[in-house]
Structure 1
Amino acid sequence: MHDQQTVTSMQGPGVPDAQPPAWSAPVNPFAPPAAPQPSYGDPVPPPPIAPDGPGQVPYGYPGTYGSPGGYGYPGGGYPYAGMHPLPSNGMGTTGLVLGIISAGVFCLWPVAIVLGVLALIFGLIGRGKAQRGEATNGGQALAGTICGAAGIVLGFAMLAFVIATR
């Protein structure tokens, strides 16, 4: 776009011949490149490694290389230096999901009571893990415990309603 002439820069009657600006000088397409360009199929060198190690693993779990099944890490082997194991947030999340479902389906009182008890158990286990520092979702675990208790109460209330209306 910048190399094209505009209406005011075009030659016409009474306009002297203008020289193109220096930045629009033609480029020789047959000139060799300034630096050798890598071609397709050339081997790619490995990326540089920092002085303090390879850094954080972008995907997966830490310590996934090495001998399988050892030292409590997924995939086995030793973890990278300075890396902590990933938090185990599954119990708290499971408690929250089961608690929400049990509170939502209280009309199906047997299902609500069973899911509420499971949510209560998973929520308390998740809360314990969060207090020990093994998990980071203590609030979710507490919410799962509360929703599970609400599901149990609503399930028993529905049971009482069903018995009272017979």
Structure 2
Amino acid sequence: MAPDGPGQVPYGYPGGGYGYPGQPQGYPAQAQGYPGQHQGYYGWPGTQPLPANGMGTAGLVLGILSAIVFCLWPVAIVLGILGVIFGSIGRGKASKGMATNAGQALAGIICGAAGIVLGVGMLVLLVVT
């Protein structure tokens, strides 16, 4: 017999009263063992929140794109600047322990700087010729 199936789970039966819809009335709301009741983060009670690796990853992606599309020099310069900014923010989060991808953030800074240099080099080449 499932906890949310037809009928009521007998008292003391293992698996009864997990806080699913249709739960018997004898269980208080605090005893419900599903993560939707906990505020602040998603996950099981007692676990740490996931690392915030988004900025470092975004810096790496934008830095790589800026280095690839250097022939479109305005796009490469903008993407390179954004890659350096997001990489720096991601590096700062990694140094505070909020993220775990310090290497990706550093690679984003380096690739973004390379994209800026290549974009400016393409601009100079177009102006000179």
TM (norm. structure 1) is 0.56
**Equivalent residues of 1:98, 1:118 under 8 A apart:** yes
Aligned 8 A contact 1:100 1:144 in 2: yes
Q: Which protein has the larger Cα radius of gyration, Structure 1 or Structure 2?
A: 1
Unpaired runs of at least 5, structure 1: 1-37, 58-62, 68-72
With a CA cutoff of 8 Å and minimum separation of 6, indicate the structure with the bigger relative contact order: 2
**In 2: Cα distance, 1:65 partner to 1:147 partner:** 43
Contact kept, 8 Å, 2:41 with 2:49, in 1: the verdict is: no
- Structure 1 runs (4+) deviating above 4 angstroms are 41-46
1:65 to 25, 33, 37: 37
Q: Check the 8 A contact 1:64/1:74 in 2, yes or no.
A: no
Give the root-mean-square deviation of aligned CA atoms: 3.0
Q: 1:154 is aligned with what amino acid?
A: L
Deviation of residue 47 (structure 1)? 3.5
Change over 3 Å in CA distance of 1:157–1:74 after alignment to 2: same
Matched letter for residue 159 of structure 1: L
Q: Which residue of 2 aligns with 1:80?
A: 45
Matched with 1:35 is none
> 1: distance between equivalents of 2:8 and 2:60?
48
Structure 2 match to 1:47: 15
1:113 alignment partner in structure 2:
77
Q: How many angstroms does 1:44 deviate by?
A: 9.0
Structure-2-length-normalised TM-score: 0.71
Question: Unmatched 5+ residue regions in structure 2?
Answer: 19-31
Q: Deviations over 1:55-79 (max 9, x none)?
A: 9x8xxxxx54246xxxxx247xxx7
Identity of aligned residues (%): 60
> Matched residues in 2 for 1:44 and 1:94: separation?
50
3-state secondary structure, aligned to 1:84: coil
Q: Which one-letter code corresponds to 1:80 in the other structure?
A: P
Deviation at residue 164 of structure 1 after TM alignment: 1.0
